[in-house]
Amino acid sequence: MLKINNLQASIEEKEILKGINLDIKPGEIHAIMGPNGSGKSTLASVLAGRADYEVTGGTVEFMGKDLLELSPEDRAKEGLFLAFQYPVEIPGVSTTNFIKSAVNEKRKYLGLEPLDAAQFLRNMKEKMKLVEIDQSLLSRSLNEGFSGGEKKRNEIFQMAMLEPKLAILDETDSGLDIDALRIVANGVNQLRTKDNAFLVVTHYQRLLDYIVPDFVHVLYKGRIVRSGTKELAKELEVKGYDFIKAEVDQELA
Amino acid sequence: MHEENDDILEQITSSEYKYGFVTDIEADEAPKGLSEDTVRFISAKKNEPAWMLENRLKAYRHWLTMEEPKWPNVEYPPINYQDIIYYSAPKQKIAPDSLDDIDPELRKTFEKLGISLNEQKRLTGVAVDAVIDSVSVATTFKEELSKVGVIFCSMSEAIQDHPELIQKYLGSVVPATDNFFSALNAAVFSDGSFCFIPKGVRCPMELSTYFRINAANTGQFERTLIVAEDEAYVSYLEGCTAPMRDENQLHAAVVEIVAMEKAEVKYSTVQNWYPGDKDGKGGIYNFVTKRGICAGAHAKISWTQVETGSSITWKYPSVILKGDYSIGEFYSVAVTNNFQQADTGTKMVHLGKNTKSRIVSKGISAGKSQNSYRGLVSVAKNAGNARNFSQCDSLLLGDKCGAHTFPYIEVKNNTAVVEHEATTSKIGEDQIFYCNQRGIDTETAVALIVNGFAKEVMNQLPMEFAVEAQKLLAISLEGSVG
Ligand SMILES: Nc1ncnc2c1ncn2[C@@H]1O[C@H](COP(=O)(O)OP(=O)(O)O)[C@@H](O)[C@H]1O
Ligand SMILES: [Mg+2]
């Protein structure tokens, strides 16, 4: 589904990603962990097509297409979804209206008729239950004045509505209390099928108790320095990132 | 990356003006230039009574003593008033006996603009007065309206058929001496609309005037007068377009509204004059005086404007709140793009007791444009318990445009409560990227954000026009953000 080969990217002449390799197959959940500043959000942004980042090398194939050739909106419509670490606020645009636009833009791209109001509403009701989000929140301006937890739940709600093939969750767990965390994880687990995949970026192993990954990768200084199963996450929790940092820095030296 | 944004910005701002066509039709024109003879020529063309010519000449003589205002925050080369044609009429019978007699070319022109002069095709319940260059070519639903006592006709006809009303009200709200452009208008105006809603009548349909400039080198000077007697109600709409031309054309209109006791007048404008091209060439100079008076107690006048066109806009639809408990409202969305300049706002003049006014202004600037809000709230000594609330928001697209706010407040009564709030925001790259990531392309994202920003004003428009106006907003900004 997603094949990242030796991906390098920089921002303002500063090299951040220094050769990432990653292969994600349908039905899999991959977790990316790593200390702050290691390049996790950068990787997510580059995959989503943020213009600030310059790809300086490597290739990315998504659903058989050259991802890097696609515009950000086409990547989205091909089925790539990013749950933002810091979702933005858009005053005056109701959340419902926004999601409706997004859903219908995607349908248009796929050659489908736009959903009529009734179908959309039915769909929305169903997905609202999934992430325990309230109607009143959805009639408010997008993310405006939402609490941190509400913003994150709104991201997962949008994911549920858009039914992506690959969802990248960038620290969706940070700033969530244990109940919100459970709700988010529950949403992800219910949306999981054998045809879609998740790339879960997190700083803590806590989330992985709820969303159980098939693979865990450690990103450090712009490279994936360790890959393993969820046992690796457990080990990290006990030992902290320092032991990996020390090992890697020694290897690099 | 900034360069990349500028590219996208450029693409969006370079959209085409779709009303820019010219109708090929023979016109009856006055010779270029302005003198007493021009004024007499226009008056004679219209067969006007002596008193009307006298009014015009007085206005003209006064105009000669005046100077063009220099205080607006706009820049343009000096206008040569001798280089303008002051009267241009399509060659057809000026007032066709029936709608069937309208020149097919003219009918087609309006159809192309989405205005049907065919009463059978009435879809929206809107009566239309269609004005092209200097004359009104058709007014629909006159008969149906006259059944309830509503007069809706061109200004030329009103001068002939209702001289007592015209003599009483024309110039009563905006006197010729008011300002440079109102004096010019009073001297040379050639047509416009008149509506009169008698006591206690709720006008059964929306009334509207559609203005079209067609001829080259002409100025358009129309005159609109709306009178609502006690407890009358009317909702009035104004729309306008012009061909794309490299020269600037002058449009100096005057609109007057009189609302008596408990009367309500809602005046909505969707202004889409040709804005000039993306390099700032051509476009309409839109120098307009609009004013209403709440003459009786509990009267209400509400101005709603969506301003997307014109290369320069200079207008301040105002309300004089004379009657106690009267209400004035001003809702405005002004969009400027490329090299457009707008200096627009309102004046709320509180004279009566317990009068209320509300101002909601949303300025959207893109390209290299300049967008200024200029507003005056004044409360006279005897206007006890006056209330005003003003909200002026500016939205910037890109960093080469400007937004300015000039609120003036003059309060002479200490029971007044005058509140002013202002915000400036910018469509951020983060917002655009967020939308992109959800599959919404940049243009659609801008339209979504802009319409969200302008929603409070758009909601004031009559339903039929709200959708059109929303599309217009999006089109005016096509290509303006990254
Ligand atoms: N806009 C930016 N300008 C300059 N440096 C940036 C920018 N965004 C991120 N970086 C740098 O890139 C590195 C990786 O950041 P990020 O991908 O956000 O890390 P993580 O998500 O793993 O915490 C950091 O050193 C950070 O300072
Ligand atoms: Mg991060």
Q: What pLDDT, on a 0 to 100 scale, did the predictor assign at position B482? A: 44
Query: Treating both helix axes as pointing N-terminal to C-terminal, what angle do A95-109 and A148-162 enclose, rounded to 10 degrees?
Result: 30
**pLDDT band at residue B5, thresholds of 50, 70 and 90?**
very low
Coil, strand, or helix at residue B357? Answer: strand
Alpha helix stretches (DSSP H) within B113-219: 142-147, 155-161, 163-169, 180-188
Q: What percent of chain B has pLDDT over 70?
A: 84
What's the rounded Cα separation, in Å, for the pair A9 and A6?
10
Ligand 1 geometric centre to CA of B119 (Å)? 64
Q: Which residue has the higher pLDDT, A206 or B419?
A: B419
A202 ligand 1 Cβ < 6 A: no
Residue A113 burial (CB < 10 Å; 0-12/13-18/19+)?
Answer: exposed
Q: What pLDDT, on a 0 to 100 scale, did the predictor assign at position B179? A: 94
DSSP letter at B479 equals T
Q: What pLDDT, on a 0 to 100 scale, did the predictor assign at position B2? A: 39
* Cβ atoms < 10 Å from Cβ of B51: 12
Inter-residue contact A84 to A174 (CB < 8 Å): no
Coil, strand, or helix at residue B79? Answer: coil
Q: What pLDDT, on a 0 to 100 scale, did the predictor assign at position B117? A: 66
Residue B223 burial (CB < 10 Å; 0-12/13-18/19+)?
Answer: buried
**pLDDT band at residue B459, thresholds of 50, 70 and 90?**
confident
DSSP letter at B33 equals S
Query: Of A163, A115, A156, nearest to A137 (Cα)?
Result: A156
CB contact under 8 A, A93 and B428: no
Inter-residue contact B235 to B205 (CB < 8 Å): no
Inter-residue contact A224 to A20 (CB < 8 Å): yes
Residues 412-441 (B) with a CB less than 8 A from some CB of A: 425, 428-431, 433-441
Q: What are phi and psi of B295, to 5 degrees?
A: -75, -30
Which chain A residues touch B454 with a CB distance below 8 Å? 92
Hey, which of A11-15, B127-131, B324-328, B428-432 has the most confident mean pLDDT? Answer: B324-328
The whole-chain average pLDDT of chain A stands at: 93
And the tokens for B334?
């002004």
And the tokens for A190?
């219910």
pLDDT digits (tens, 9 = 90+) for A73-130: 999 999 999 999 999 999 889 999 999 999 999 999 999 999 988 999 999 999 999 8
pLDDT digits (tens, 9 = 90+) for B373-409: 999 999 999 999 999 999 999 999 888 888 999 999 9
Query: Of B42, B22, B13, nearest to B275 (Cα)?
Result: B13
Rounded to whole angstroms, what are the CA distances from B163 to A158, B97, B173, B256? 64, 21, 17, 17
Q: Is the pLDDT of residue B151 over 60?
A: yes
**pLDDT band at residue B8, thresholds of 50, 70 and 90?**
very low
Q: Is the pLDDT of residue B118 over 70?
A: no
Q: What pLDDT, on a 0 to 100 scale, did the predictor assign at position A99? A: 96
CB contact under 8 A, B440 and A102: yes
Query: Treating both helix axes as pointing N-terminal to C-terminal, what angle do B180-188 and B36-45 enclose, rounded to 10 degrees?
Result: 50
Is the entire prediction scored with pTM above 0.90? Answer: no
Place of tokens 């015009």: B56
Inter-residue contact B245 to B281 (CB < 8 Å): no
* Cβ atoms < 10 Å from Cβ of B231: 19
pLDDT digits (tens, 9 = 90+) for B261-299: 999 999 998 888 787 888 878 888 889 999 999 999 999
Q: Report the pLDDT averaged over residues A221-238.
A: 90
Q: What pLDDT, on a 0 to 100 scale, did the predictor assign at position B1? A: 35
Q: What are phi and psi of A59, to 5 degrees?
A: -135, 155
What's the rounded Cα separation, in Å, for the pair A129 and B91?
68
Name A120's Cβ contacts closer than 8 Å, sequence gap at least 6: A100, A103
And the tokens for B263?
């009367």
Place of tokens 């303006």: B480
What's the rounded Cα separation, in Å, for the pair B243 and B112?
12
Residue B58 burial (CB < 10 Å; 0-12/13-18/19+)?
Answer: middle
A20 ligand 1 Cβ < 6 A: no
Q: Which residue has the higher pLDDT, A52 or B116?
A: A52
Residues 319-338 (B) with a CB less than 8 A from some CB of A: none
Query: Of A245, A248, A224, nearest to A4 (Cα)?
Result: A224
**Which residue out of A50, A53, A73 would a mutagenesis test of the B interface target, given it has the greatest number of B Cβ atoms within 10 Å?**
A73
What's the rounded Cα separation, in Å, for the pair B163 and A200?
79
Inter-residue contact B472 to B7 (CB < 8 Å): no
ipTM: 0.96
Residue A126 burial (CB < 10 Å; 0-12/13-18/19+)?
Answer: exposed
And the tokens for A57?
């090398």
What's the rounded Cα separation, in Å, for the pair B398 and A80?
28
* Cβ atoms < 10 Å from Cβ of A47: 25
Inter-residue contact B382 to B355 (CB < 8 Å): no
Q: What pLDDT, on a 0 to 100 scale, did the predictor assign at position B480? A: 65
- Report which secondary-structure segment, H or E, holds B420: strand B417-426
Q: Report the pLDDT averaged over residues B315-338.
A: 94
Closest-CA residue in chain B for A93?
A: B452
Q: What percent of chain A has pLDDT over 70?
A: 100
Q: Which residue has the higher pLDDT, B133 or A246?
A: A246
A222 ligand 1 Cβ < 6 A: no
CB contact under 8 A, A51 and B4: yes
DSSP string, A112-140: -PPPPHHHHHHHHHHHHHHTT--HHHHHS
Q: Is the pLDDT of residue B126 over 70?
A: no
Q: Strand pairing of B27-29 and A223-228?
A: unpaired
Hey, which of B191-200, B216-225, B292-301, B438-447 has the most confident mean pLDDT? Answer: B292-301
**pLDDT band at residue B11, thresholds of 50, 70 and 90?**
very low
Q: What pLDDT, on a 0 to 100 scale, did the predictor assign at position B14? A: 43
**pLDDT band at residue B12, thresholds of 50, 70 and 90?**
very low
Which chain B residues touch A105 with a CB distance below 8 Å? 438-441, 444
Q: Which of B428, B439, B442 sits opposite A105 (nearest CB)?
A: B439
What's the rounded Cα separation, in Å, for the pair B126 and B205?
6
Q: Which residue has the higher pLDDT, A235 or A157?
A: A157
Coil, strand, or helix at residue B332? Answer: strand
CB contact under 8 A, B452 and A91: yes
Residue B44 burial (CB < 10 Å; 0-12/13-18/19+)?
Answer: exposed
**pLDDT band at residue A248, thresholds of 50, 70 and 90?**
confident
Residues of chain A with CATH 3.40.50.300: 1-79+167-174+200-248
Ligand 1 geometric centre to CA of A37 (Å)? 6
Give CATH for domain A1-79+167-174+200-248: 3.40.50.300
CB contact under 8 A, A88 and B430: yes
pLDDT digits (tens, 9 = 90+) for A155-214: 999 999 999 999 999 999 888 888 888 988 998 999 999 999 999 999 888 889 999 999
Q: What percent of chain B has pLDDT over 90?
A: 47
A16 ligand 1 Cβ < 6 A: yes
Best of A38, A56, A245 for a ligand 1 pocket test (most atoms within 8 Å of beta carbon): A38
Q: What percent of chain A has pLDDT over 90?
A: 75
CB contact under 8 A, B455 and A82: no
